[in-house]
């Protein structure tokens, strides 16, 4: 099963690199894993690549309201947990320099010495607010939830509070 999940993630990673003509943001985050339950807390380190490639638009054809774009990334905790993820995000400019970015992804999870989330396949939903700096990079604050959505025997889930620096290029 783990070999199959690895192959799926590798294929998704290669696909997103091939279809992406340009990358929008490299996201570097540090966070507090399981901050609300405080049973298996750890430091969460995340790298995410948000691609500037529209894969779907929502709204009227002549003027879409939102563009859905792909992302992929990896998270590691100080408890040796590893989570490879791929998914989609929407970016909403809410003022001159502020952005609201919800995202949803699916990936392969290995608990390492950390919290058992109940399955190797986990889903993550995240809501982020970020501020665009003068150099066009951003700083952001996000809250995320990782869960197996009930496909495992147990589903304890975990929440992550993160601070990020996002490099635009």
Weakest-pLDDT range from 37-46, 63-72, 120-129, 147-156: 63-72
- Mean pLDDT to the nearest integer, 18-38: 79
Structural domains counted in the chain = 1
Counting residues of the chain whose pLDDT is more than 70, the rounded percentage is 83
Per-residue confidence band for 18, with pLDDT thresholds at 50, 70 and 90:
very low
pLDDT tens for 56-96 read: 777 777 666 778 999 999 999 999 999 999 999 999 989 99
CATH number at residue 126: 2.40.160.20
Per-residue confidence band for 112, with pLDDT thresholds at 50, 70 and 90:
very high
Q: Which position has the higher pLDDT, 53 or 47?
A: 47
Domain of 23, in residue numbers: 2-168
Q: Which position has the higher pLDDT, 40 or 62?
A: 40
Q: Which position has the higher pLDDT, 123 or 62?
A: 123
pLDDT tens for 131-149 read: 999 999 999 999 999 999 9
Counting residues of the chain whose pLDDT is more than 90, the rounded percentage is 72
pTM over 0.75: yes
Mean of the per-residue pLDDT values for the chain? 87
φ, ψ for residue 38, nearest 5 deg: 50, 45
Residue 61: CB partners within 8 Å, gap ≥ 6? Answer: none
E strands in 60-157:
66-77, 82-90, 92-93, 98-110, 121-132, 138-147
Distance of CA 29 to the CA centre of its chain: 10
- E strand or H helix at 127, and its extent? strand 121-132
Q: Which position has the higher pLDDT, 23 or 73?
A: 73
């Amino acid at each position: 099963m783990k070999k199959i999940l690895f192959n799926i993630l590798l294929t998704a990673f290669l696909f997103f690199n091939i279809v992406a003509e340009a990358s929008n943001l490299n996201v570097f985050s540090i966070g507090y894993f399981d901050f609300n339950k405080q049973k298996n807390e750890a430091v969460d380190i995340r790298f995410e690549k948000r691609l500037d490639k529209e894969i779907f638009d929502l709204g009227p054809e002549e003027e879409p309201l939102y563009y859905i774009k792909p992302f992929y990334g990896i998270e590691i905790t100080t408890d040796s947990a590893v989570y490879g993820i791929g998914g989609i995000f929407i970016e909403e400019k809410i003022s001159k320099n502020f952005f609201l970015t919800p995202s949803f992804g699916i990936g392969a999870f290995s608990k390492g010495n950390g919290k058992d989330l109940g399955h190797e396949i986990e889903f993550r939903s995240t809501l982020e607010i970020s501020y665009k700096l003068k150099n066009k990079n951003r700083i952001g604050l996000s809250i995320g939830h990782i869960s197996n959505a009930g496909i495992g025997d147990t589903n304890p889930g975990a929440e992550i509070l993160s601070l990020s620096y996002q490099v635009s290029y």
